[in-house]
Amino acid sequence: MPPRHILIVNARKVARPVFVIGAPHSGAEAVGRALKISPGFHVTIGQHSVLQAVYAFARRPSLYSGRGEAAAAVMRDAFAQGWQVHPTSCLECTAQCRSAAGLRGGEVGPCVEQRGLERYGDASPDLTYCAEALVGAFPDALIVQVVRDGRDTVAAMLGDPVAMSWFRPSVANVDSEFPNPFYGVEDEPDRLSWPGLSPAGKCAMRWRGAIRLAARLRRSLPGDQLKTLRYEDMVRSPGSAAAMLTSFIGATIAAPVPGAGGRRARPEANAWRRSLSLGQLADIEKVAGEELRRLGYL
């Protein structure tokens, strides 16, 4: 059995932290916002210390391969710093995190009261790509993974300059880091096909990789530790999603509202029908058709 570590943050023991994971633009941030405004929770979205650890491991899995406990220690230290609550703790928060907390303009924060604080969580972007290190750091963690139609995910990524910046030749490290879960490159055929993929195809490979990681994570964790939520169900019935999260997490959770605080004013499913060309759809299905069919999207 791995050694158990007790993490104390804000004079409170961290127990059963909740982490929300998913492919880029899967809707994980909406669940994170719901957790953030739920009583007794302190949930972060993109804290600097956390993102440093996340991208170090997500983009270079060789850093923690065979070094599980060392990676776990790095993750615990990152969250111990990111979850600190003090008068200026929100100054360096991302816009998403500040918006989710209801902070405006030059408000300093903090975004949560220490009184009544009982649980911690995080819904940082790309957290899914270091899920193994995350579970190693917090063996009692609860994981909520959000799954969305890959075509909608690709459409959203194509319209997001930050998401697309990862594909720049000077940034993509598919040759130096192989296999590369961050880009969904798993084997030699993937690596050989990567340079010739269209932007839609590369986005689809990232989505496919996240879905495969999610499937492996589900097989490795007991059912009471991981819950899958479909974005489309969340859009259709936020109240039902809240009830499911409340039952799984063991605390009253607010209804997740996709799109709130984001670029779109209203949440949508099947938006890909208006934004993707036939050529882009063909590229997506060529790369990720198997996963789309397995999840019932095709």
pTM, entire model: 0.92
What are the angstrom distances between the C-alpha of 40 and each of 43, 56, 116, 224, 281?
A: 10, 30, 6, 21, 43
User: Would you state the pLDDT for residue 264?
Assistant: 41
CA 41 to chain centre: 18
Q: For residue 140, is pLDDT > 60?
A: yes
Q: How far apart are CA 4 and CA 139, in angstroms?
A: 8
Report the mean per-residue pLDDT for the chain: 89
Strand 18-22 vs strand 142-147: parallel, antiparallel, or unpaired? parallel
Strands (E), 174-269: 226-230
- Which carries the bigger pLDDT value, residue 68 or residue 208? 208
Strand partners, 228: 145
- Among candidate residues 214, 190, 211, the one with its CA nearest the CA of residue 202: 190
- Specify the CATH superfamily of domain 8-294: P-loop containing nucleotide triphosphate hydrolases (3.40.50.300)
158-167: pLDDT as tens digits:
999 999 999 9
CB half-sphere exposure, 200, CA atoms < 13 A: 18
User: Would you state the pLDDT for residue 6?
Assistant: 82
Residues 145, 217 contacting (CB under 8 angstroms): yes
Name residue 178's amino acid.
F
238-265: pLDDT as tens digits:
999 999 999 999 999 999 988 654 444 4
